[in-house]
Amino acid sequence: MRLFSLLLIAVAAACATTPAGSTGAPQPQTVTVAGSNSTLRVDGGASATGMATLPYSVEQVWRVLPFVFDSLGIPIVSMDPAKRTLGNEAFKVRVRLKGTPLSRFIDCGTSTQIGPNADNYDVVMTLTAAVTPAEAGSATVVTTFSAVAKPANFAQDYAACNSKGLIESRFIDIVRAKLAK
């Protein structure tokens, strides 16, 4: 009976109307954070793009990228050495990524019953990286990250999650640390 009551409450909450003047859809936002030789751009749940120009050759940066993906716990499923791009466009993960709760990386909303949805939902992530030549023998690394999630136990469609910028900045930090050795 208690389970039935909880389901009834969940259904009622899902059917609730939105406040007057609200469309019910999340409003897209674009946030750009720029620092010394790196930029992070987050486009309202669609994707986040990180970019950094590093004082190393394209070949030096390209060689460390597989190590970076491994350090983050994301397997590489596509690699194009000619274009110097690699990544994973459909990495399924649940609860944690390499020991870190998913809610540290993404915001998929919060449930009053289970807490951050990212830590309890089925999540599909995309992380790709590309290396291009920059000025004076340096290289630019561009990462693109996005995630979608859906409840594990209910038949619902995937919904976009917002990046918190941590994966993108951690990616560049690992590249810099590996190259500095």
**DSSP assignment of the chain:** -HHHHHHHHHHHHHHPPPPTT--SSPPP-EEEEEETTEEEEEETTTEEEEEEEESS-HHHHHHHHHHHHHHHT----EEETTTTEEEEEEEEEESEETTEEGGGTEE--EETTTEEGGGTSEEEEEEEEEEEE-GGG-EEEEEEEEEEEE-SSS----EE-EE-SHHHHHHHHHHHHHHH-
- Distance, in Å, from the CA atom of 121 to the CA atom of 156, rounded to the nearest integer, reads 11
pLDDT of residue 72: 94
pLDDT of residue 92: 94
- Distance, in Å, from the CA atom of 17 to the CA atom of 177, rounded to the nearest integer, reads 50
pLDDT of residue 155: 83
The torsion angles phi and psi of 77, rounded to 5 degrees, stand at -115, -10
Quick check: 144 and 49 in contact, CB under 8 A? yes
For residue 115, the tally of other CB atoms under 10 A from its CB is: 12
- Distance, in Å, from the CA atom of 168 to the CA atom of 170, rounded to the nearest integer, reads 6
pLDDT of residue 46: 53
Domain ranges of the chain: 30-180
pLDDT of residue 161: 95
CATH of domain 30-180: 3.30.530.50
Residues of the chain with pLDDT under 50: 1-45
The torsion angles phi and psi of 176, rounded to 5 degrees, stand at -60, -45
